[in-house]
Structure 1
């Protein structure tokens, strides 16, 4: 990528002008007040009969201190560089709404990719610039030159890079992300969605933040940490941007039971168990990919840095139905761009993966 002659933009210039001094809603839990009789939030003085621990009658801390400390330690960042929200979905929506003026600004996404980038852009009436992934011998990869041109020529405010990518599986080398940041010189915020980062050997893009304030990273406890129902995700970014995002966030994004579960799920013993399970997933990913690649009906198994495999089939409908008949539900990708013959299969337990292979083997024999 060539180095364009563009003026470096201050990070906060990327934020919508009408939100650059926005204070947001000040809830009853915003102020740091002390007391033993709490009558400032119109909460019930009594717990619900079903609330055995009596923890749910009070509104939660907007950014739970213990959870923020645990997540900051997990991801190697300062507490003021991190915003907790309802999974990565809320972070994506907040970023689009905070940076993009409706009907004026644009968002870059790289299909086939996670659909929430496009959904959030549409809800904000931000133009979506699709820069398709390139399907090459090594698998799908982003067209970084085309992404840079989309920003510099069409004025996009946000670039979403999914790494490892969903549904294609490959991580983006850190050097390539840094080269894009150098080319853009602050003209857009580059958001690296690392929902599957724990399954990859590629270092996190958080390591680039010291040199590039225009990079933000999304992480979640939904995948490797097995807390999908708790809906805990974070955006890691420059503290100035985090402050703006917090002002635009709903008052109480993290329910107390979810925060408590997440803190427990990040204890040393829980993290040790998670690391062991990640190792199992990586081993099973290699074993399953090897076994699937030799099946007659499988056209291609893409290399993956995530906890799933993307496959092309000679007859994807037959494969999908064979798996469903065996009680195995996989993700049908045939409506996604470039994937009209593809299914995505999450890596399960060894026993679940054996069922996948048995069902597809039986379907191949029957065909």
Structure 2
């Protein structure tokens, strides 16, 4: 079975030849007066540039090429969409039959995998990460066993993990995908990859086409509100996902922002900010580790730290009293004493340390 044939065999049988919706922008036509999409012939008063009255290109080629260059892949292997969330939803819808198939997750992890699965009537099988002194670890053998036992179609892995901050070893991911070849797609969510010193799983797709990689411009590139994400996968699978995608997923203003953010000069600034964030991550890690009332700070390869407290409620309230909002993780499995603290500016991070110190002094 060929690589492409193997991975498309994982797609729902009723969707393998599904043509999807053919929008007006899908037609390769040339003209001077465009009257084929029921658009307004006049621009909105709110649109001074007159650029948004027409529907956008479903997959703008300039953006697709730029993203592919950024992530080191061929453009035909990349589908751009509305953040990683849309890619997660597309994968579940395209591969999982409601009420029949399953996905495997490794909690604690990003909540949208389970949300998309449950909204689609897909069973969730959990293989918890192993909590160790040096960070959370994935039991790849247990993940493979669970996926095979449940006949799962998707295995979602997050690297660096959210909220763990842990990077997964690529050789283990490669071995997992090899074991699940023809049985399941291994999805590597690399939303925080820019903050990690590790190679991307995109390097594994050629040898293991049952790997898909998720990337986003929301974190390191500071475009969270623009909602630009990508799924990188075997070209045949990308083609299927595009046919399942909404007709116009990429708003023109968001595309323009993305292209501007990925221009050479902007990328230099982004890399400088990433370096600053990583330095702040290491400094804040040391400061919090030495703070009274802090039970454990997990090493992180992302732009946040997962912290366990003797009294997480007191810590949360003290930070909030100082105007600092962090993510309360206590409802997540095995994290009943934990908060996730995103990295801010050096000044903001210093305020976190001061607020927690005041909390201990007042105790």
Short-chain TM bin: over 0.9
State the 4+ residue runs in structure 1 displaced beyond 2 angstroms.
none
Shift of 1:137: 2.2
Aligned residue among 319, 329, 335 for 2:315: 319
| Matching residue of 2:106 | 110
Residue number in structure 1 paired with 2:258:
262
C-alpha distance in structure 2 between counterparts of 1:327 and 1:10, whole Å: 52
1:18 aligns with 2:9: no
Out of 326, 332, 341, the position equivalent to 1:330 is 326
Which deviates the most, 103-112 or 145-154?
A: 145-154
- Which deviations, in whole Å up to 9, do the C-alpha atoms of 1:244-298 show, x marking residues without a partner? 0000000000000000010000000000000000000000000000000011100
Which of 136, 156, 159 is the equivalent residue of 1:160? 156
**Residue of 344, 348, 352 corresponding to 2:348:** 352
User: Equivalent residues in 2 for 1:51-200 (5 A)?
Assistant: 51-200=47-196
Over 3 Å counting, the alpha-carbon distance change for 1:26 and 1:75 in structure 2 is same
Flag the 1:143–1:9 CA change in 2: closer, same or farther, 3 A.
farther
1:251 aligns with one of 243, 247, 252: 247
Question: How far off is 1:185 after superposition?
Answer: 2.6
The match for 2:197 is 201
In the alignment, what sits opposite 2:357?
Answer: 361
Cα deviation per residue 1:44-90 (whole Å; 9 max; x = unaligned)? 00000110110110000000111111101101111110001100000
1:105, 1:155 within 8 Å by CA — same for their partners in 2?
yes
Give the corresponding residue for 2:212: 216
Q: Secondary structure at the match of 2:19?
A: coil
Q: Does 1:302 align with 2:298?
A: yes
Stretches of structure 1 that go unaligned for 5 or more consecutive residues are: 1-7
Describe the SS at the equivalent of 1:178.
helix
Q: SS of the counterpart of 2:142?
A: helix
Whole-angstrom CA distance in 1 between matches of 2:75 and 2:118: 31
Q: Counterparts of 2:50 and 2:133 in 1: how far apart (Å)?
A: 57
Q: Secondary structure at the match of 2:98?
A: coil
Tell me which residue corresponds to 1:343: 339
- Partner SS for 2:24: coil
Kindly state the Cα deviation for residue 9 of structure 1 after the two structures are TM-superposed. 7.8
Give the paired residue count: 360
Partner residue in 1 for 2:270:
274
SS of 2:153's equivalent in the other structure is strand
Whether the 8 Å CA contact 1:189–1:216 is kept in 2: the answer is: yes
**Which 5+ residue runs of structure 2 have no aligned equivalent?**
none
| TM-score relative to the length of structure 1 | 0.97
Scaled by the length of structure 2, the TM-score of the pair is: 0.98
**Quick check: 2:9–2:182 contact (8 Å CA) kept in 1?**
no
CA RMSD in angstroms comes to 1.0
Q: Distance in 2 between matches of 1:353 and 1:153?
A: 45
User: Larger deviation: 13-22 or 146-155?
Assistant: 146-155
> For 1:301-348, what per-residue CA distance to the aligned partner results, in whole angstroms no more than 9, with x for missing partners?
000000000000000000000000101000000000000000000011
